[in-house]
Amino acid sequence: SNILLDEDFHPKLSDFGLAKLGPVGDKTHVSTRVMGTYGYCAPEYAMTGQLTLKSDVYSFGVVLLEIITGRKAIDNNRAAGEHNLVTWARPLFKDRRKFSQMADPLLQGRYPMRGLYQALAV
């Protein structure tokens, strides 16, 4: 529900809670408390309060990882160590042979491996 399409069907991410208190103009620092949806908020932003293009890229990456894996960014119903999608997936990125473990299990292995590799490369 936080992905919108413009008139040319280009995706736009919305409502991560950052826009409400985001910087104005060319400023990147937010002087109020850090806002954002947990699980989508870049760690650097949470630590420094600095919003950058990298903050948006991180959030987009989490959304893409949700699509690839069929998992939520934060899911407390999962086993310990699997609650946070990024924390769970990070070690799997280190070994290409483990990439298939990140594919949505509902696909039941019916996808081109090359397509999975390309999606995870983004």
Question: Could you read off the pLDDT of 52-111 as tens digits, one per residue?
Answer: 888 888 888 999 999 999 999 999 999 988 999 999 999 999 999 999 999 999 999 999
Say if CB 17 and CB 36 are below 8 A apart.
Answer: yes
Per-residue pLDDT at 120 exceeds 90: yes
- In the chain, the number of structural domains is 1
Strand residue runs (E) in 6-55: 11-13
| Single pTM value for the model | 0.72
Per-residue pLDDT at 18 exceeds 60: no
Count, in order, helices (H) and strands (E) of the chain.
Answer: 4, 2
CA dihedral angle for residue 40, residue 81, residue 95, residue 118, rounded to 10 degrees: -30
List the CATH number of the domain containing 22: 1.10.510.10
Specify the residue for token string 């390309």. 118
Residue-range definition of the domain harbouring residue 86? 3-121
Instruction: For Cα atoms 121, 11, 92, give the angle at the middle one, nearest 5 degrees.
Output: 25
